[in-house]
Chains A and B, each alone.
Chain A
Amino acid sequence: MNAAGQWIAFATVARREVARILRIWTQTLLPSAITMTLYFVIFGTLIGSRIGEIVPGVGYIDYIVPGLIMMAVVTNSYGNISSSFFSAKFGHYVEEMLASPMPGWVLLSGYVAGAVLRGFMVAIIVLGISLLFTRIQMHHPWVTLSTILLTSIVFALAGFINALYAKKFDDVALVPTFMLTPLTYLGGVFYSVDMLGSPWRQISHANPILYMVDAFRYGLLDISDIGLGYAYAVMLGFAITLTLVALHLLRRGVGLRS
């Protein structure tokens, strides 16, 4: 398959993923809108007004906006690819792609592109909702956009690997429940890691989501606990490692070819 053919195959997989996201928007886009609205009402307006400022000059509701957007990006990019690819496996229609000339890396890219686009869609939705509660001024647009891009790529790849190993739908639900949710809540969405004492502050630095939230908060609000260089190193490191792992598993046919 030549480069033009690979591009068409990639666009086909990505377009099919976007069509799926839009077809079942009540399952893919609406839940984040409702959940995040509740977060803004409860933690931002009701409780946030009593908390005051975590960082001087930044209200609590402003402080949690980047974290909540990242929380939506993480769960949606992961959930999109893990449920879509596992459904294709479960229903055996993944064979349409496996028995085609499309190389594994094109298949992976198409699915990741779909998950990244869902990540951006929910980021825009949650940002739009946040503007109903507060005024946010984007300080560093490229940092903001690149952080969403890298975060959604990392979690799309993780979701893909989960779907490869999953044998039943329960296996797809386990990781978000027992890993993603705790890591997200402990990733500085609602608080600054500087508020933590030792050893919890040091332990928190082992959490990759902390770096993503911090970089995104820097992009939106120009405040950071960690430093941009570390955050990009972690995001790029995870993205490269997970890409190599996913491609290796695809080459070996793990979970796909008996």
Chain B
Amino acid sequence: MTTTPALDVVELTKTYASGVQALKGVSLRVEPGDFFALLGPNGAGKSTLIGILSSLVNPSGGDVHVFGVSVREQRSQAMALLGLVPQEINLNPFEKPLDICINQAGFYGITRAAAMPRAERYLRQLQLWDKAHQTVRSLSGGMKRRLMIARAMMSEPRLLVLDEPTAGVDIEIRRSMWKFISAINRAGTTVILTTHYLEEAEQLCRNIAIIDRGSIIEHSSMKRLLAKLDVETLVLDLAEPAEPVATRLPEIAGIALHAVDALTLEAAVPRGHDLNSLFAALTQAGIVVRSLRNKSNRLEELFVRLVDNGKGAA
């Protein structure tokens, strides 16, 4: 038996009046209950895709179904299932968080009596209850971002779309936001996330799609994608050398080693290759390693590689 996908994007195209082709036949499927990452460089088409599925952008071709309901044909029913946290802050600066949440519920046909306890619950969970009666313009950037999440949750959507929700938010607030969203996801809400913090996507998301220049270039599970990473780049921080390291770098079978500066080496190590030979060769060459770290997280490395390959192919 096949389940109805939470999101089914079918051959979606979008060409703006300026002639820019933002989406070139995108197809995508997100299963119910998933925590899904939609990644891509700036200008790849992510926001256009999110704009279409939240009915803020008219598609040129194709369709989007939210839990089987067509956004083009049954916009109202589809929107009742979806909550949106947009990339840009879109709050009325003169309204108060409590009013914003209650009004949002009203736009979904939810009574004020039902909305009030819901608003209090989400504002408390997102640590905004003490600001409930202050105007939005007096809130910090992080508070506004959390308020947009509370607002999106007022209709208790089955599909929550978060477009770079943690942009410009400090690490502590970001972690509390992810804790909240993870709990929402565990409770059954399907979450689609776009972010430039790839370590977040790697930790939180089970499935992933990468979009570049209007086309999906990768669409698989996070595990399967990370398994494609055949080479990891390690950064070695060195002790103060007696003589320049660049002149005495050892040759190591299977590992590409190069000096970044006098105190740093980078080693490209194939997946499954042991590190013993690397350290043995460095020790023999009199190079002392103080610490070792990944150059970037695994998803970031893959992401850059996939996008760079796409540029090469273009």
Q: Contact: A1 with B86, CB < 8 Å?
A: no
Q: Chain A contact residues: over half helix, strand or loop, or mixed?
A: helix
Question: Which chain A residue has the least Cβ–Cβ distance from B55?
Answer: A99
Q: Given the complex of chains A and B, what is the CA–CA distance between A45 and B84 in angstroms?
A: 58
Give the residues from 200 to 256 in chain A that come closer than 8 angstroms, CB to CB, to chain B. Answer: 253
A8 to B115, CA, bound (A): 12
Query: Per a CB cutoff under 8 Å, which of B51, B104, B109 touches A6?
Result: B109
CB-defined contacts of B110 to chain A, threshold 8 Å: 5, 8
| Residues B58 and A95 in contact, CB atoms below 8 Å apart | no
> Contacts A6-B109, A96-B107: A101 and B80 contacting too (C-beta < 8 A)?
yes
The stretch that binds A, out of B88-96, B183-191, B197-205, B254-262, is B88-96
Q: Which of A2, A8, A102 has the most CB of B within 10 A?
A: A8
Instruction: Give B30 Cβ to nearest chain A Cβ, in Å.
Output: 18
Closest B residue to A24 by beta carbon equals: B94
Q: A95-B86, A100-B108, A257-B57 are in contact. Are A16 and B103 (CB under 8 A)?
A: yes
List the B side residues contacting A101 at CB < 8 Å. 75-77, 79-80, 107-109
Q: A4: CB under 8 A from chain B?
A: yes
Is B56's beta carbon under 8 Å from chain A? yes
Stretch at the interface among A50-58, A85-93, A165-173: A85-93
Q: Which residue of A lies closest to B75 (CB)?
A: A101
**B151 interface residue, CB < 8 Å from A?**
yes
A99–B84 contact, CB under 8 A? yes
Would A8 and B109 count as touching, CB distance under 8 A?
A: yes
In this assembly, does A23 line the interface, its C-beta being within 8 Å of a C-beta of chain B?
yes
Tell me the complex Cα distance, A6–B171, Å: 41
A88/B55 contact (C-beta < 8 A), A8-B106, A101-B77, A101-B108 known: no
- Given A4-B109, A9-B107, are A23 and B94 also a contact pair (CB < 8 Å)? yes
B79 close to A100 (CB less than 8 A): yes
- CB distance B111 to A96 under 8 Å? no
Q: How far is the CA of A37 from the CA of B73 in the complex (A)?
A: 53
Do the beta carbons of B56 and A99 come within 8 Å of each other? yes
CB contacts under 8 Å to B, within A1-35, are 1-2, 4-6, 8-9, 11-13, 15-16, 19-20, 23
> Is A59 positioned at the interface, with any CB of B under 8 Å from its CB?
no
Cα–Cα, bound, A97→B100 (Å)? 12
Interface residues of B in 208-228 (CB under 8 A from A): none
| Distance in angstroms between the alpha carbons of A91 and B108 in the assembled complex | 21
Bound Cα distance from A24 to B110, whole angstroms: 27
Which residues from chain A contact B155 at a C-beta distance below 8 Å?
100
Return the contact of A95 from the options B56, B80, B100 (Cβ within 8 A): B56
Q: Is A103 an interface residue (CB 8 A)?
A: yes
Nearest Cβ distance between residue A4 and chain B, in whole angstroms? 7
Inter-chain contact A257/B56, CB cutoff 8 Å: yes
The verdict on A198 contacting chain B, using a C-beta distance below 8 Å, is no
Residues on the B chain within 8 Å of A12, using CB:
103, 106-107
Q: Which among B56, B93, B100, B151 is the interface contact of A98 at CB below 8 angstroms?
A: B56
A98 and B51 alpha carbons, distance in the complex (Å): 11
Total interface residues on A, using CB and 8 Å?
A: 31
Contact A258 B51 (CB under 8 A): yes
B residues less than 8 Å from A6 (CB atoms): 109
At the interface, yes or no: B195 with Cβ under 8 Å from chain A?
no
Interchain CB contact under 8 A, A258 and B109: no
Report whether A92 and B88 are in contact in the complex, using a CB–CB cutoff of 8 Å: yes
Chain B neighbourhood of A15, CB < 8 A: 106
User: Which of A2, A4, A88, A257 sits near B58, CB closer than 8 Å?
Assistant: A257
Q: In the assembled complex, how far is the CB of residue B72 from the closest CB belonging to chain A, in whole angstroms? A: 12
- Cβ–Cβ < 8 Å partners of B107 in chain A: 9, 12-13, 96-97, 100-102
Q: Does B54 make an interface contact (CB < 8 A)? A: yes
A5 near B90: Cβ-Cβ < 8 Å: no
* Cα separation A95 to B75 with both chains bound (whole Å): 14
Check B109 against A96 for contact (C-beta < 8 Å).
no
CB distance from A120 to the nearest CB of B (A): 23
CA distance A93 to B56 in the complex (A): 12
Closest to A92 in B: B90
Interchain nearest-CB distance for A173 vs B (Å): 20
Q: Is B279 engaged at the interface, CB distance under 8 Å to the other chain?
A: no
For B109, list chain A residues within 8 Å (CB).
1-2, 4-6, 8-9, 101-102
CB distance from B60 to the nearest CB of A (A): 11
A96 to B84, CA, bound (A): 9
> Which residues of chain A are within 8 angstroms of B77 by Cβ–Cβ distance?
1, 101
B76 close to A99 (CB less than 8 A): no
Q: Does B178 contact A (CB under 8 A)?
A: no
New A-B pairs, 7, CB < 8 Å, besides A5-B109, A91-B90, A99-B56: A1-B109, A12-B106, A88-B92, A92-B88, A92-B90, A93-B91, A99-B54
- 26 A-B residue pairs with CB within 8 Å: A1-B76, A1-B108, A2-B109, A5-B110, A9-B107, A20-B94, A23-B94, A91-B90, A91-B91, A92-B88, A92-B90, A93-B90, A93-B91, A95-B56, A95-B90, A96-B103, A97-B107, A99-B84, A100-B108, A100-B155, A101-B79, A101-B107, A101-B108, A102-B109, A257-B55, A258-B58
**Which are the 5 A-B pairs with shortest beta-carbon distances?**
A5-B109, A12-B106, A92-B90, A100-B107, A101-B80
